[in-house]
Amino acid sequence: MARILVVEDETDIQEILEYNLKRDGHDVVLTGTARDGLRHARERRPDLVLLDLMLPDGSGTELCKTLRQDAATRGVRVVMLTAKGEEIDRVIGFELGADDYIVKPFSVRELLLRVQAVLRRVSTGESGETTQFGTLRVDRGAHRVWVNGQEVELTALEFKLLLTLHDRRNRVQTRDALLSDVWKIDADVTTRTVDTHVKRLREKLGAAGIYVQTVRGVGYRFAERPDEVA
Closest to 40 measured CA to CA, from 17, 66, 10: 66
Residue 19 C-alpha from the chain's centroid: 23
* Site stretch for DNA (CB under 7 A), options 65-73, 122-130, 188-196, 221-229: 188-196
Measured CA distances, 171 to 117, 126, 156 (Å): 15, 20, 23
Candidates 12, 87, 186, 188; binder of DNA (CB under 7 A) is 188
In this structure, which amino acid lies at residue 229? V
Rounded distance between C-alpha atoms, residue 222 and residue 176, angstroms? 16
- Is residue 198 a contact point for DNA (CB under 7 A)? yes
- Is residue 192 a contact point for DNA (CB under 7 A)? yes
- Is residue 1 a contact point for DNA (CB under 7 A)? no
Q: Which residues contact 93 (CB under 8 A, 6 or more apart)?
A: 80, 82, 100, 101
In this structure, which amino acid lies at residue 4? I
C-beta closer to DNA: residue 105 or 226: 226
Q: For residue 34, give the 3-state DSSP assignment.
A: helix
Helices (H) and strands (E) in the chain, counts: 8, 14
Estimate the crossing angle of helix 156-167 against helix 175-182, to 10 degrees.
120
171 binds, among a second copy, DNA, none (CB under 5 to 8 A by kind): a second copy
158 binds, among a second copy, DNA, none (CB under 5 to 8 A by kind): DNA
- Is residue 134 a contact point for a second copy (CB under 8 A)? no
192 binds, among DNA, a second copy, none (CB under 5 to 8 A by kind): DNA
Instruction: Please report, as ranges, the residues that interact with a second copy according to CB under 8 A.
Output: 12, 15-16, 19-20, 87, 90-91, 94-95, 97-101, 105, 107-110, 113, 116-118, 120-121, 123-127, 130, 137, 139, 141-144, 146, 149-151, 155-157, 168, 170-174, 176-177, 180, 215-218, 221, 223, 226-227, 229-230
